[in-house]
Each structure stands twice: as C-alpha cells, then as structure tokens.
Structure 1
Amino acid sequence: MNIDIIFRIAGVGVIITLVNQILTKNGRDDIATLVTLVGVIIVLLTVIEIISGFFETLKTTFGIY
C-alpha cells in the first residue's frame, strides 16, 4: 500500500476541517455541511478505488473470472 494515499486522505480531512470551521464561524452552517459531505464523498471514492484495485489483484492472483 502506498503511503501517498494516506497523506491524500489526511490532507482532504485537514482542508475540509479548516473550511468547515471558517464557514461555521461566519454563520454559514448549511454550506459547511455541504462541504463536509463533499469531503466524505471524495474520501469514499478514494477508498473505493483502493478496494477495487485490491479485488482486481485477487482476481488476477487466483484466476477468478
């Protein structure tokens, strides 16, 4: 597993947290919620990509079609 993926997920988390805090302090809770939701979706897509690669490796290794 590549360490870059962990740093990418952590970076998205930090950026989303900062933007969320700024928006919350300015009274834009609705936008802050949407930003958090977008961050979660980005991380989930990254994790799905990793899991997909894992299953492709399993299929290749064991010859499963």
Structure 2
Amino acid sequence: MDIDLVFKIAAIGIIVAVLNQLLIRSGREDQAMMTTLAGLIVVLSMLVQQISDLFVNIKSLFNL
C-alpha cells in the first residue's frame, strides 16, 4: 500500500468535511448528505480496487 493512497483518502475526507459544513450552514442539509455519500463512495471504490490488487498479488504469489 502506497502512502499516496492514505494522503488521497485524507484529502477527500478534508474536502468532504469542508463542503459538508458549508452546505449545512447555508441550509442545504440534503445536498450535504449527498456530498458525504459521494465522498464515501469514492473512497470505497478506491479501497475496493486496492483490495482487488492485493488478492491478485496473493494469487500470483501462491500460484493459484
């Protein structure tokens, strides 16, 4: 796992948190929730890709 992945996830988290607070303070709670869900989906898709790569590496390591 690269340290870049950790920084990308942290950056997405910071951006989503700031957008969430801005939208909540302007009275757009629904859009704030959608922004949070979109950030979560982006991060989960990044993690699923990394887990898939991990399984491919393990499979090739053990010649399965």
Whether TM exceeds 0.5 here: the answer is yes
In 2, the alpha carbon distance for the partners of 1:32 and 1:2 equals: 30
Aligned to 2:40: 40
Provide TM-score, normalisation by structure 2. 0.98
In 1, the alpha carbon distance for the partners of 2:4 and 2:54 equals: 16
Aligned to 1:28: 28
In 2, the alpha carbon distance for the partners of 1:30 and 1:3 equals: 33
Say whether 1:8 aligns with 2:8.
Answer: yes
Q: RMSD over aligned Cα, in angstroms? A: 0.4
**Equivalent position amino acid for 2:6 in 1:** I
Aligned to 2:63: 63
In 1, the alpha carbon distance for the partners of 2:12 and 2:49 equals: 16
Bigger relative contact order, structure 1 or 2 (CA pairs below 8 A, ≥6 apart): 2
Structure 1: segments with no counterpart, 5+ residues: none
Provide TM-score, normalisation by structure 1. 0.97
Structure 2: segments with no counterpart, 5+ residues: none
Per-residue CA shift, 1:21-62, capped at 9, x if unaligned? Answer: 000000000000000000000000010011000000011000
